[in-house]
Amino acid sequence: MAKRSSKAWMWWLVVGVLAVLAVAWWQWPSDNGEPRFNTSKVETRTIEVVVTATGRLQPLDFVDVGAQVSGQLERLHVNIGDQVEAGQLLAEIDATVLEARLDGTRAQLKFQQGQLREREANRDLAEINLNRQQRLLADRATSEEMVESAEATARAENARIDQIVAQIEQTESSLRAEEANLNYTRIFAPMAGTVVSIPARRGQTLNAAQTTPTILSIADLSVMRVEAQVSEADIGRLRDAMPVYFTTLGNRGQRWTSALDLIEPTPKIENNVVLYNALFDVPNPEGRLLPQMTTQVFFVVDSAENVLSVPFAAVRPSGRGQGTVEVLRGDGQTETVTVRTGLTDRVYIEIRDGLNAGDHVVIPRQQAGGPGGSAGGRGGRMF
């Protein structure tokens, strides 16, 4: 028991020594005998109040190029990343079966056209016979029954001609469809852009009877659209045409700027969180922005450019738009100064009156380690 009590006593002795050293370091004077302060210089900067969101990049204009006819994909004339022009040949589907169908439809049309000429000849003969019977009846050289029979034959031949004409029109319609299907075996670019994907492969059999198979996708990458997901708590702070900028995960040092175009009214619910899509476009002349890139988006609710500012933790509010700060003077003494404040982003706060650029404000020690003091202390110095 005595040994255990001795160890406990030594433990408390060590703790006491460390506590004394900590207090001594905290209150230890500087080289010139002045007390130490955590300070930050009054600087000119731009303060922004923003709503942050994550988003995805998508091409503003893109199209999935599909096949309208079934068959084996015979040729692909482009690769992923190729630039294509509108009307450029992209792919070809085996046309053997469609060519045979087209030849059969053309042959059927010729057969029906021959039938039409035959019926027209029969009609002409029936009309000649009718005219003869009518003259004979006038001379009382034939009976009325023969005239009526000739009239019926002429009408029947005209009816047969109408039937053949209808069949020819139907066949011509089928012929146009067969010619169109044959043209669909050659697939052309509906728009200019970049080939971004080719899910189909050469030799693959395409079945267009049930669904339209996608052969490749073309996108115009010169203008990109950002789809930012904003929470329902922040969506009310957004407004049309408000400034917005974003960065990408691969290039956080560059900002792309734009203005808010549209907020989609229908939300998406993910893990019981209601999110709204906020959309805006951005030019992409250099092609550095690519589809599906993740973006960090900042909607600028308010901003103050090139204003005097201090860390938010350095100001003690004393009223609406007012506060007090401790200013470190040249003799090492501090002075309480009343200031007029403006915009704040909770890291820095705008100083409209009461301080000058280059002044050093004291950040309270209880705030120095917090979010405001840590951010505000960047660029400051210790006295």
Domain assignment of residue 166, yes or no:
yes
Query: Which residues does residue 59 pair with via DSSP β-bridges, in sequence order?
Result: 224
pLDDT digits (tens, 9 = 90+) for 31-89: 454 555 688 999 999 999 999 999 999 999 999 999 999 999 999 999 999 999 999 99
Token readout for 355 is: 């301080």
- Which domain, by its residues, includes 174? 95-183
Answer yes or no: do 288 and 314 share one domain: no
Answer yes or no: do 297 and 330 share one domain: no
Domain boundary among 136, 167, 183: 183
Domain assignment of residue 84, yes or no:
no
Question: What's the pLDDT band for 17 if we cut at 50, 70, 90?
Answer: low
Mean pLDDT, rounded, of the chain: 86
- What is the distance between the alpha carbons of residues 21 and 256, in angstroms, rounded to a whole number? 51
Answer yes or no: do 39 and 114 share one domain: no
- What is the distance between the alpha carbons of residues 129 and 279, in angstroms, rounded to a whole number? 80
Q: Is the pLDDT confidence value at 374 over 90?
A: no
Domain boundary among 302, 335, 360: 302
Pairing of strands 322-328, 360-362: antiparallel
Domain assignment of residue 322, yes or no:
yes
Q: Is the pLDDT confidence value at 14 over 90?
A: no
Q: Are 339 and 322 in contact (CB under 8 A)?
A: yes
Question: What's the pLDDT band for 133 if we cut at 50, 70, 90?
Answer: confident
Answer yes or no: do 345 and 275 share one domain: no
Domain assignment of residue 315, yes or no:
yes
Domain assignment of residue 23, yes or no:
no
Q: Is the pLDDT confidence value at 367 over 60?
A: no
Answer yes or no: do 114 and 165 share one domain: yes
pLDDT digits (tens, 9 = 90+) for 237-259: 999 999 999 999 988 889 999 99
Q: What is the CATH number of the domain that holds 334?
A: 2.40.420.20
pLDDT digits (tens, 9 = 90+) for 139-167: 887 788 888 898 999 899 999 999 999 99
pLDDT digits (tens, 9 = 90+) for 291-320: 999 999 999 999 999 999 999 999 999 888
Answer yes or no: do 178 and 107 share one domain: yes
Answer yes or no: do 147 and 171 share one domain: yes
Answer yes or no: do 276 and 354 share one domain: no
- Region 332-350: what's the mean pLDDT? 91
Token readout for 105 is: 């439809």
Answer yes or no: do 289 and 314 share one domain: no
Token readout for 75 is: 């040729």
Half-sphere exposure of 201 (CA within 13 A, CB side): 1
Question: What's the pLDDT band for 130 if we cut at 50, 70, 90?
Answer: confident
Question: What's the pLDDT band for 92 if we cut at 50, 70, 90?
Answer: very high
Domain assignment of residue 231, yes or no:
yes
Answer yes or no: do 268 and 326 share one domain: no
Q: What's this model's pTM, rounded to 2 decimal places?
A: 0.70
Domain assignment of residue 288, yes or no:
yes
Per-residue pLDDT at 337: 92
Sign of CA dihedral 161, 164, 170, 173: negative
Answer yes or no: do 99 and 179 share one domain: yes
Q: What is the CATH number of the domain that holds 268?
A: 2.40.30.170
Long-range contacts formed by 177-184: CB under 8 A, 24+ apart:
178/98, 178/101, 178/102, 178/105, 179/102, 181/68, 181/69, 181/98, 181/101, 182/95, 182/98, 182/99, 182/102, 184/67, 184/68, 184/69, 184/93
Token readout for 199 is: 């899910």
Domain assignment of residue 83, yes or no:
no
Per-residue pLDDT at 27: 46
Structural domains in the chain (count): 3
pLDDT digits (tens, 9 = 90+) for 159-209: 999 999 999 999 999 999 999 999 999 999 999 999 999 999 999 999 888
Domain boundary among 253, 276, 302: 302
Per-residue pLDDT at 139: 81
